[in-house]
Amino acid sequence: MPARLLLPLFLVPALLVNLATFLAPMLNLAMLSFREGMPGGSIGTMFTWATWQDVLTDPYYAELVLWSVALSLFITVLTLLCAYPIALFVHRAPERWRNLLMVACISPLLVSAVVRTYGWLVILGEHGVVASALQALGIAPPRMIFNTTGVVIGLVEILMPYMVLSLLAGFGRLHASLEEAASSLGAPPLVVFRRVVLPLTLPGILLGCLLAFVLSVSSFITPKLLGGGRVFLLATEIYDQAIVTLNWPVAAALSMLVLVIFGLALLLYGRAVRAVE
Amino acid sequence: MGRLAFTLLVLVLFAFLLAPVILVFPMSFSADRVLAWPPSGFSLRWYGAMFTEPGLMEAAWNSLVLGCVVTVLSLLVATPAALMLARRRFAGRDAVMALLTAPLLLPTIVLGLAMLIVFVSYGLVGSWPGLVLAHLLLTLPYALRVLSTALSTLPATVEEAAASLGAPPGAVFRRITLPLMLPGVVATCAIVFLVSFDEVVVSLFIVGPRLVTLPVALYRYVESRTDPLVAAVSSVLVLLTLCVVLVLDRAIGLRRAVGK
């Protein structure tokens, strides 16, 4: 047989893995949200809107979704504020320093989320680094883990490398000469930042915010460990419904909601990018 | 804002970014029974405890084997697909690429749940084939991307020259394409191994009572207890990761590998 006809077969293994682990399971998940969860983990066989009705009308879920989105937006803004100076510094650094700084920014990405979250338990815990420093200063340390504060601090740190990378990818148009030109014409530093630096770096900011928001909405390990089971978010609720309560249809419907939130975020991002250009 | 103030701010932010990874090292030498800073004394007891903690070494071994199996399978599955996608123009090429890299864009919690539900009915939950398949889904997009980037930077003309001189396709691949794309293959191995070795969310859904990976074991440990044991394991893991990253940097440079 001529080799040319055999070539499409090269794609078959990859497509088979994709079908078995992605396409079929995702379609099945979407269909499952139209079944009914019975007590004890069994699943109804009939098509029903009941699960969606439940998820969309129960104030508990509405609050959960709004709270997850609001907290993720807050975390995204904080991450941007923490990552922007770093990205600007790395972008302006001389060539030989830049590689080292980049490695410092990227290396946390290569460490498991469990390890980094554990690191925050060491720092923020009851007898942790921050608490003992505050005590030495004579200040009673506030509770910093097993609440929203801990989750926010941990997630901001975990998302920072993604934000720095996105910002740097969008900083290509920012040249030192432009800033120098503006300030030599008499613009004070804040005006230079607002009128020159910020507009030029806006594409990077948008990309970084999209990524941080999407990762924050779907984050699971950090809210679970730093929240100590007391911080309820969409992703942790999906896990609890799937593994603890064994209500797969509700878990499936909540998963679809996460995908809808992803889609909306992408849509907004696309609009914002077009508005900028 | 002065230049000095800006540099100081950046230093503080860098400290914030790197603090959790760096602080596990001094904590791992703690002599205390609980997580407390500063440690009242230093010892190697928690490094010793790594070997006596039930199930931990077995989980580490499982993760190591899983990482190696997934790396080999990812290469075997992704290389032909990357060759096809980078070297041939065919209808639906972009759609195939989008489908194969789509799992990277979706939340792992949703992917894990979707696989759990399907895998349950085939008895794949808590089994080696189930874990390998689940990890392949997550590693294939990385492997495809890195390999097809490596291929697209190679000039196809060298392969055409070899073929026009009468080399059969297999020989062209073995003697020309493979050696030229070797840095890409090494990078793929490093990235795929790290992704598999660190993966926790999808694994949480697919592991069973008798088959647990290291990140899942650590997650469960931290969820129930906080003592310096995990700091010792983390220190070892960070050093191992550093070794893999050095291999990666030698092969193609870190910025290119993580960039696109």
Considering only residues B50 and A70, tell me which one the structure prediction assigns the higher pLDDT: A70
Question: Is B49 within the bounds of a domain?
Answer: no
Nearest to A24 by CA among B248, B137, B139, B253: B137
Over the stretch B1-32, which tens digit does the pLDDT of each residue have?
578 888 999 999 999 999 988 888 888 888 77
CB–CB contact A14 B231 (8 Å): no
Domain hosting residue B86, numbered range: 55-259
- Tell me if A236 sits within 8 A of A192, measured CB to CB: no
Question: Which residue in chain B is spatially nearest to A10 when comparing CA positions?
Answer: B80
The CB-side HSE value for B103 (13 A sphere, CA atoms) comes to 32
Question: Domain count of chain B?
Answer: 1
Question: Is B226 within the bounds of a domain?
Answer: yes
Over the stretch A85-132, which tens digit does the pLDDT of each residue have?
999 899 888 888 888 888 888 888 888 888 889 889 888 888 888 888
Residue % of chain A over a pLDDT of 70: 96
Which domains, ranges and CATH numbers included, belong to chain A?
59-276 (1.10.3720.10)
* A-B contacts (CB, under 8 Å): 234
The reported pLDDT for the residue numbered B260 is 39
Q: For A43, phi and psi rounded to 5 degrees?
A: -125, 135
Over the stretch A143-158, which tens digit does the pLDDT of each residue have?
888 888 899 999 999 9
Q: Is A129 an 8 Å CB contact of chain B?
A: yes
Give CA separation, B56 vs A257, B50, B208, in Å.
36, 7, 15
- Backbone Cα Rg of chain A: 23
pLDDT class of A2 with cuts at 50, 70, 90: low
A107 contacts in B (CB within 8 Å)?
18, 21, 242, 245
A121 contacts in B (CB within 8 Å)?
35, 222, 226
Nearest to A128 among B37, B102, B103 (CB): B37
Question: Is B46 within the bounds of a domain?
Answer: no
The reported pLDDT for the residue numbered B142 is 92
The reported pLDDT for the residue numbered A1 is 44
B140 contacts in A (CB within 8 Å)?
14, 17-18
Q: Is A191 helix (H, G, I), strand (E, B) or coil?
A: helix
Nearest to A201 by CA among A269, A150, A276, A117: A276
Question: Is B6 within the bounds of a domain?
Answer: no
The reported pLDDT for the residue numbered B144 is 92
How would you label B46-59 residue by residue, b for 16+ Cβ within 10 Å and e otherwise?
bbeebeebeebeeb
The reported pLDDT for the residue numbered B38 is 80
CA A62 to chain centre: 20
pLDDT along chain B (260 residues), means of 10: 85 92 86 78 83 88 95 94 83 86 90 93 91 94 89 80 83 83 86 91 90 92 86 88 78 55
DSSP per-residue string spanning A18-54: HIIIIIHHHHHHHHHTTS-BPGGG-B--S--SHHHHH
Interface test with A, best of B23, B110, B201, B249 (most A CBs within 10 A): B110
CB–CB contact B241 A111 (8 Å): yes
A3 contacts in B (CB within 8 Å)?
169
Question: Is B44 within the bounds of a domain?
Answer: no
CB–CB contact B113 A15 (8 Å): no
Residue B218 is which amino acid? L
pLDDT class of A40 with cuts at 50, 70, 90: low
CB–CB contact B100 A18 (8 Å): yes
The reported pLDDT for the residue numbered B76 is 94
Average pLDDT, chain A: 86
CATH value at residue B167: 1.10.3720.10
Over the stretch A200-235, which tens digit does the pLDDT of each residue have?
888 889 999 999 999 999 899 999 999 887 888 899
Over the stretch A74-98, which tens digit does the pLDDT of each residue have?
999 999 999 999 998 998 888 888 8
